[in-house]
Amino acid sequence: MLSLKDKILRKKAVISVVGLGYVGLPLAVEFLNKGFWVRGIELDKNRVSSLRREKSYILDLDDKTLGKAFKQGRFRVTTSYNAVCGSDVIIICVPTPLRKTGEPDITYILDSVKKIKKHLSKNMLIILESTTYPGTTEEVVLPILSKGELQVGRDFYLAFSPERIDPGNKKYQTANIPKVIGAVTADCLECASVLYKQIVNKVVTVSSPKTAEMAKLLENSFRSVNIALANEVAFICGKMGIDVWEVIKAAESKPFGYMPFYPGPGIGGHCIPTDPMYLIWKARLSGYEPKLIKTAHDINSFMPHHVVEKLIEELKKRKKVVRKSKVLIVGLSYKPDVNDIRESPALEIIKELTSKKVQVSFYDPYVKELQINGKKYISIFWKEKNIQEMDAVIIVTNHSNVDYGILKKALFIIDTRNALKGKIKNLVKL
């Protein structure tokens, strides 16, 4: 009988990916394209039925690529965990959101691990990829899996390897983003390393799962802190009449010791607003009260409100009544050239504006409609006439395929992303 390592090396291993979202689906396709048999376990029936029709819901993965993956005849998608039976590797890519209280919500991980446990058998390799707090793999996942006869390192293998994809990034994709791996035993680490070497150019092994879990949180806390610094510098520049974008461009010319981050309307997506909160929560439990990471999170969370305050100030300057004023939001997604609106600052801005009875509309080439507080919004047509009707425009996300030229017809524009590079009159910077 082949060992797990040999099965992987000979592409005979069957890989199950649990959770076919922004992370899981592209990962499943990577393994398929390398010749593996892949099963996708996804609880969302709509997603499963869309996949069976070879329709992708992930912008970075087009229908053609997905169709090709299916045509190889080695891909099966299902809502049933029975697919774990007969799998050699199970990779968990389920969501790790925050509770309303701001604390980690690992219920999706717990649910998937409990279901996997029912089918756990000898020589299986289980890998957690979902971002989570240090200790999850060994303190939460391992106790569930090791209830019973099977022993980790001897009968089954367990590792944590954080996902690092950056949706919309054309330069860095799975193969050229090094993969960090931490595992429970040396054999677990060996198996997980052999597996990932099939799809990435470089693996970086660390001494434990919690080191790998912490590394992921450091990466995203680093981003949060630096974005907060850029936001704070923007506030200071605003008070002093200095163009913060020109300042950043100048600082960027330093070839060492500096890396540009930019101010904006706030942070969004599944990572930057969430991951530092996982770290803060775990740090507190461990007896340390984080200051810098917490302050950064507070500054970034304040930004949508700052945009609204700026808008009100500018409307008043122009003798416009805030109530009933018409405001257009350009760009709903949390970052350029993606269709993901999760935690997008645009949502916070819209909620606050509607609470002030502002008439909000939006334009986004990637997002056709939006439901907020029971109200449905449809993306407007990008026409001069529609812009002229507005009392104000706020650029929240700077998609690269938008013709910003027609905004010269707007009464005024709050450009939170420097999308217009100061080229249009009636421009208000953050």
Ligand X SMILES: NC(=O)c1ccc[n+]([C@@H]2O[C@H](COP(=O)([O-])OP(=O)(O)OC[C@H]3O[C@@H](n4cnc5c(N)ncnc54)[C@H](O)[C@@H]3O)[C@@H](O)[C@H]2O)c1
Given the rule CB under 6 A, which residues bind ligand X? Answer: 18-24, 41-44, 47, 93-96, 108, 111-112, 130-131, 163, 165, 167, 270-271
* For ligand X, the closer CB: 93 or 332: 93
List 93, 188, 191, 271, catalytic entry: 271
Nearer CB in complex with ligand X: 91/308: 91
Least distance (Å) between residue 127 CB and ligand X = 12
Reply yes or no on whether 271 is catalytic. Answer: yes
How far is the CA of 327 from the CAs of 357, 368, 386, 388, 416, in angstroms? 11, 18, 11, 11, 15
SS percent in the chain: helix, strand, coil, step 5: 40, 15, 45
Residue (45 or 291) nearer to ligand X, CB: 45
Which residues have a Cβ under 8 Å from the Cβ of 251 and sit 6 or more positions away?
A: 258, 260
Cβ of residue 18: shortest distance to ligand X, in angstroms? 5
Residues 331, 187: Cα–Cα separation, whole Å: 47
Contact assessment for residue 275 and residue 131, using Cβ atoms and an 8 Å cutoff? yes
Give the residue with the Cβ less far from ligand X, 23 or 308.
Answer: 23
Q: Contact, 235 vs 228, CB < 8 A?
A: no
Q: How far apart are CA 27 and CA 29, in angstroms?
A: 5
Question: Half-sphere exposure of 101 toward its Cβ, with a 13 Å CA cutoff?
Answer: 5
Q: Report which residue's Cβ sits closest to ligand X.
A: 21
Taking the C-alpha atoms of 39, 44, 47 and 50 in order, what is their torsion angle to the nearest 10 degrees?
90
Nearer of residues 60 and 391 to ligand X, judged by Cβ: 60
- Helix or strand holding residue 68 (H, E): helix 63-71
Compute the least distance from the CB of residue 262 to ligand X, in Å: 19
CB of 22 to ligand X, least distance (A): 4
Residue 19 or residue 387: which is nearer to ligand X going by CB?
19
Kindly state the smallest distance separating residue 84's Cβ from ligand X, in Å: 11
Residue 270's nearest CA partner among 105, 141, 394, 53 is 105
What spatial distance separates the first Cα and last Cα of the chain, rounded to whole Å? Answer: 64
The torsion of the CA quartet 54, 59, 60, 61, rounded to 10 degrees, works out to 0
In angstroms, the CA 168 to CA 193 distance is 26
**Shortest distance (Å) from residue 249 CB to ligand X:** 27
Residues 250-273, buried b or exposed e (16+ Cβ, 10 A)? eeeeeeeeeeebbbbbbbbbbbbb
Choice between 59 and 406, CB closer to ligand X: 59
Minimum CB distance to ligand X smaller for 132 or for 193: 132
The backbone torsions φ and ψ at residue 322, rounded to the nearest 5 degrees and listed phi first, read: -60, -50
Q: At closest approach, how far in Å is the CB of 384 from ligand X? A: 35
User: 131, 307, 126: which is closest to 218 by C-alpha?
Assistant: 131
Tokens of 216: 């992921």
Instruction: Supply the DSSP string of 297-345, one letter for each residue.
Output: HHHHHHHHHHHHHHHHHHHHHTT--STT-EEEEE--SSSTT----TT-H
Of 270 and 306, nearer to ligand X (C-beta) is 270
Adjacent-strand bridge partners of 206: 182
For residue 205, the surrounding DSSP H or E stretch is: strand 203-206
Q: Which of 37, 21, 23, 44 is nearest to 69 (CA)?
A: 37
Query: Which residues are identified as catalytic?
Result: 271
